[in-house]
Amino acid sequence: MLLTRKHGEEHPYWPAGPFKVRLPFIHYRWEVAETIQALVMFVVAMGMIPLLQKYLGLPYDVALAYVVVCGVGFLLPNLLGVPFVPGWITPAIPVVLLFVGQFEPGPDAIRALVALQLVVTFIFLFMAVTRLGSRLVDNIPSSIKAGILLGAGIAAISGEISQGGRAYNTPISLGIGGMVTAYVLFSLSFRDWTEKHRWAKVVAGYGMVPGMLVAMGIGWAVSEYPLPSVEWGLATPAFGEIWNYLPFTVGFPGAELLMAAVPTAVIAYIIAFGDIIVGQSLISRVDHLRPDEKIEVDVDRVHLVTGMRNLLHSLFAPYPGLAGPLFTGAMATIAERYRYGRRAMDTIYSGAGVFWIVGFIALFLLPLITLFKPVLPIALSITLLITGYLCIAVAVEQIDNATAMGVAGVMGVVLATHGAAAGLGAGLVLYFMIERRGRNVPADEPIHVADNMPHEEAEPAPAKSS
């Protein structure tokens, strides 16, 4: 029998130190809508396989074993009391690939990625224990935060559409599929339709799924992707071989490599903290519509669980996506359905929990795996394109004057083209050289247009009338 909550209280749980344990069928019911969505969206998790093969030199079956380890990590946040749908630090993927791409695929690249993920682990756990997370990020200038997001967004989109990119090579399927996904997720006109038409509300409830299915169907129809060869039975990831591709075998990184990973790790953390803010925002938008449940978002617990997941990856499956606090597309979809009341979704934990439980089970279902195997690049590409759009949109929201926009823009371009260290360095130099003001000038004093123009271009003062 389910442990039910009283109206207006926090959902029942088992206390376990800093965690709050919740299990399906004991603390929350099974949700059918998230079951259906996860049977398609699990392919996003498998979308990491091409990157593991290309940058780390893993065989397909070993890469699939890495994805299963990632799936275990996806189960932890909801289990331990975090009301988010977890994911990767997706906007950081292009920056991570710039770092890992400097090393030869194989042991060198694996050690580099382990170094990066260990530093990310340290940052998250340190911020969790000291509770410094929010204070640190609040003190980072908005132009620097915007520059990081712009750089990640530019790198994500340019990597897909430039020569050799997935969208460049298969423009029909990814072009149409990407547009459908963007329209469903972001279009103001489609949002108006959801208020008027039930079918539009149903489509919106599945988030990225419609666009991905359209892209896959078109990819098969126009032969941009090969037709699948569906097999039956259960998948057998190469857990026996995975040991040959872990730091226990290839060796742990040295101090020099750990230091080289610090700039990329710092950028990944800042992006991840932005994801926490986005997650809080998504929940706050619907929390007031559901007075029956009090939702707790403990930022320290989010940091702690995310650090644990990155440690799991560091030791057993170093991952280009890292371990992030939020899968934005899935969380937005689940939050949207949650707003329609307890009959639609009993608790936020039932929607978020069921999603990745089903996604984890799907990783062993050979018919689904073989069906989607030829189109794995589609899932990763659409995820990166949508993430790039969101990064750029959120970056612009951080900026309130032309000077900061210039600093952020230049920093973003340098970061996208030359990597994390160069991007951070350029951003800090420009900030202190151009944007930073004197000690006696209030930080919130407005910047006038003339202050941002060369002196000879500033408009002359109007002549006094005689």
> Is the pLDDT assigned to residue 115 strictly greater than 90?
yes
Note the pLDDT of residue 350: 92
From residue 195, alpha-carbon distances to 34, 41, 234, 253 in Å are 22, 25, 42, 54
Summarize the confidence of residues 332-360 as an average pLDDT.
Answer: 87
d(CA 176, CA 219): 10
- The conformation of residue 103, written as its DSSP 8-state character, comes to S
Report the DSSP beta bridge partners of residue 234: 365
Highest-scoring range by mean pLDDT, 3-12, 212-221, 378-387 = 212-221
Summarize the confidence of residues 141-153 as an average pLDDT.
Answer: 84
Per residue in 295-321, pLDDT (tens digit) is 988 889 999 999 999 999 999 999 999
d(CA 421, CA 412): 12
Q: Give me the chain's average pLDDT, please.
A: 85
Note the pLDDT of residue 441: 58
> Is the pLDDT assigned to residue 265 strictly greater than 80?
yes
Locate tokens 């396989």: which residue?
49
Q: In the structure, what pLDDT confidence band is assigned to residue 457 with cuts at 50, 70 and 90?
A: very low
> Is the pLDDT assigned to residue 29 strictly greater than 50?
yes
Summarize the confidence of residues 176-202 as an average pLDDT.
Answer: 85
d(CA 211, CA 127): 37
d(CA 111, CA 99): 12
Summarize the confidence of residues 196-220 as an average pLDDT.
Answer: 85
Q: In the structure, what pLDDT confidence band is assigned to residue 109 with cuts at 50, 70 and 90?
A: very high
Q: In the structure, what pLDDT confidence band is assigned to residue 361 with cuts at 50, 70 and 90?
A: very high
- C-beta atoms surrounding 316 within 10 Å: 19
At 28, give phi and psi (nearest 5°). -150, 155
d(CA 309, CA 37): 24
Higher pLDDT, 155 or 85: 85
> Is the pLDDT assigned to residue 244 strictly greater than 80?
yes
> Is the pLDDT assigned to residue 59 strictly greater than 70?
yes
**Widest pairwise Cα distance in the chain:** 93
Q: Which amino acid is at 322?
A: L
Q: Which are the contacts of 215, defined by CB distance < 8 A and separation ≥ 6? A: 173, 174, 176, 177, 178, 180, 181, 375, 378, 382
3-class secondary-structure state, position 234: strand
Higher pLDDT, 110 or 142: 110
Q: In the structure, what pLDDT confidence band is assigned to residue 56 with cuts at 50, 70 and 90?
A: very high
3-class secondary-structure state, position 9: strand
Q: Which are the contacts of 89, defined by CB distance < 8 A and separation ≥ 6? A: 268, 271, 272, 275, 321, 322, 323, 324
At 454, give phi and psi (nearest 5°). -55, 145
At 353, give phi and psi (nearest 5°). -70, -45
Higher pLDDT, 145 or 54: 54
> Is the pLDDT assigned to residue 241 strictly greater than 60?
yes
> Is the pLDDT assigned to residue 380 strictly greater than 90?
no
> Is the pLDDT assigned to residue 448 strictly greater than 70?
no
Q: In the structure, what pLDDT confidence band is assigned to residue 444 with cuts at 50, 70 and 90?
A: low
Summarize the confidence of residues 417-429 as an average pLDDT.
Answer: 84
Note the pLDDT of residue 181: 87
Summarize the confidence of residues 166-181 as an average pLDDT.
Answer: 87
Note the pLDDT of residue 145: 81
d(CA 50, CA 229): 18
pTM: 0.80
359 HSE (CA, 13 A, CB side): 32
- Number of H-type helices and E-type strands within the chain: 21, 2
> Is the pLDDT assigned to residue 447 strictly greater than 70?
no
Higher pLDDT, 278 or 22: 22
Note the pLDDT of residue 438: 62
